[in-house]
Amino acid sequence: MVTTPGGVIVSTECDNSNSNVSSLKVLRYDASSTATSLNATAEWNLTADLPSAAANSGLEAVSWIPDSYLTAHGFHDEHTNTAYDPAAYSGHGSGRAPRRSL
């Protein structure tokens, strides 16, 4: 879990409806919410982008890096093979939780 200006970011490893299935996701929650039920405000499903993993294996942690740092240091988006452009990722907040291999 990591706290960012846009909320709290957590990672998941399994599908709660089927504990035998891997579900590698990063979720963002609004930490200021007073709701009685907690629902993710954003979800990034990375299952297809990462190598196969057994259920309850895979994402052990997340990190968050501000866009200002990424652009100032020439971060390269391997998925698009271009320089990182924050405007190309709507709804991501003001930073990025980088993809990591297993």
Short-list 40, 51, 49, 52, CA closest to 11: 40
State residue 91's pLDDT score. Answer: 66
Are 25 and 11 a contacting pair, CB within 8 Å? Answer: yes
- Please give the single-letter amino acid code of residue 40: A
pLDDT digits 0-9 by tens, 23-57: 889 998 988 888 888 889 888 888 888 888 887 78
Distances (CA, A) of 92 to 5, 20, 21, 78: 11, 29, 26, 17
Are 36 and 52 a contacting pair, CB within 8 Å? Answer: no
pLDDT digits 0-9 by tens, 48-99: 888 888 877 888 878 878 888 989 999 998 888 999 888 887 766 665 555 4
d(CA 17, CA 94): 32
